[in-house]
Chains A and B, each alone.
Chain A
């Protein structure tokens, strides 16, 4: 813009030979650049909108056939063309919620240590390590869960829990290796780095004077952390937990490998279950009828909507703190 304004000045002494042709090339490139910028933006827009519309369009058959009943029907029978999502929704929510509770407790504590109490070097080293491990692909966690954690759950953790809390319905029945509990534990490990890292960043960003004031008033270090620091970032931590929860809900491969893949609703955490993402992963290529495929796509739509709401809440909470 500025370029043209200067260059077009009539009778400007600056207009040397050959500059006109350069300017034409400039103009073409400018137009190309502006067009490219716009074009890529619209392309991106189209992809996101297309994603939502495709899932909606793909699940129309199932939406029309089952209506809202799809959400609470427990029948999942491809042979009789009966499809209901309840066992999968139950499995997804139970495994993710247990993971969230465990990971939130451990992760927030770990984040507090990294930001407040750890010697500087140790804090940086541990933090980098935990962040690096957040990049480990879920297939690796799934593999480890299947061959290492599952035997530990059925051999040690399960029997120990049954001995201590066997009177509760959650800890009764046969202990399988691949079950709801194993899936919840794997998810815990996978979302821990997220919660820990964000908690640490939130706390580290707090001004020093709050801590100084608390200590000057006679608070012990832990009282300072738990009564001054943590309450002032609690919305941010809630946001971090929601982000992690969203990830756990949508996690596919690791849960598929360790949850047992059986569409039943059982109170016992030692029984196999199934999640929304897992059933899509397992049965999508086997869907023989249009209604079957449509039901699976509707499951994808449900997953999409739920995780977007959860992650949206998380981002909203975090936006007040980060950036």
Chain B
């Protein structure tokens, strides 16, 4: 009955604007889906066993693959994780447990700041710190740049997960005579594990497709290079090089590489969500025994 008393013009107006908002939301999703669909279509035609297992070939020679780039990405991201995870988790715990200290407030602010630094600036930092003094590019410097990108994410998610652990749990453990490192290791970390794992996976997803800092840290390579102190091939870097080249078969390979990258990032993102949803299974009740 109330609806009847609203003038038709206002009702029409409301319907139009509601429709426009629906159009925007669905439109955004559709456009983004179309982009992904296009990458999948183009990428699938480039994907093959040899694409995944072979080295790049020179221009004009058909075939070849990005195997060294895939391995390079795994190495660079893996070393970055080894650097970033301990720092991020420890600082995150510190921020959650000692949130009242001035140092914690300062670090929390800096984590926000670091999260906003453009990746290209972090690349310059890695270059001046780890490339220029040694006079050659290296996978290690790329890992360092990635680690700096990951740390603020890990800090934030760890802090959030640890802060959610009920205070009583911590107090109970302390009252039973557990020292701080045991309270942290056996109670806090176990109870906060799902949240922390989510953060780690999201951080991995964040850097897996990152390209900008690699241009002057890992630099890329045409060969099998497993030594992290040398320039190393990287999948996203290969996509960039292939895409801006004038050769048609390199363009196709770029699409293939993009598809692999998207799959990797999606798997990591979905795993991150699942590990958060499975909180009930791996959380406090399941882990403290």
A interface residues with partner B (beta carbon < 8 Å): 1-3, 6-7, 26, 29-30, 32-34, 36-37, 40-41, 43-45, 47-48, 50-51, 54-55, 57-58, 106-107, 109-114, 116-118, 126, 129-130, 132-133, 135-144, 146-148, 189, 192-193, 196, 218, 220-223, 225-226, 246, 249-253, 257, 277, 280-281, 284-285, 296-297, 300-301, 303-304, 307-308, 311-312, 315
Contact = CB atoms under 8 A, between A and B. Distances in A.
B18 interface: yes
B148 A47 contact: yes
Given A34-B180, A253-B212, A44 B151 contact: yes
B172 to A, nearest CB: 12
B31 to A, nearest CB: 7
A120 B239 CA distance: 39
A140 B14 contact: no
B129 A50 contact: yes
Given A140-B262, A252-B118, A308-B117, A44 B17 contact: no
B226 interface: no
Contact of A130 (B22, B28, B174, B244): B28
Interface residues of B, number: 90
B270 to A, nearest CB: 8
Question: Which of B6, B178, B205, B243 has the most A CB atoms < 10 Å from its CB?
Answer: B243
Given A143-B243, A222-B13, A300-B124, A48 B212 contact: no
Given A41-B90, A43-B87, A48-B113, A281 B120 contact: yes
B interface: dominant SS: helix
A220 B14 CA distance: 6
A106 B189 CA distance: 41
A interface: dominant SS: helix
B240 interface: yes
Nearest to B259: A140
B215 A285 contact: yes
B18 A222 contact: yes
B239 A135 contact: no
B146 interface: no
B283 interface: no
A51 to B, nearest CB: 5
Given A33-B181, A37-B90, A297-B128, 15 more contacts: A41-B103, A48-B114, A51-B114, A109-B21, A117-B18, A129-B32, A136-B32, A137-B209, A140-B261, A193-B32, A218-B5, A223-B10, A250-B117, A253-B240, A257-B240
Contact of B212 (A7, A30, A51, A252): A252
A32 B268 CA distance: 33
A281 B124 CA distance: 10
Contact of A246 (B116, B119, B127, B129): B116
B93 A142 contact: no
A140 B2 CA distance: 51
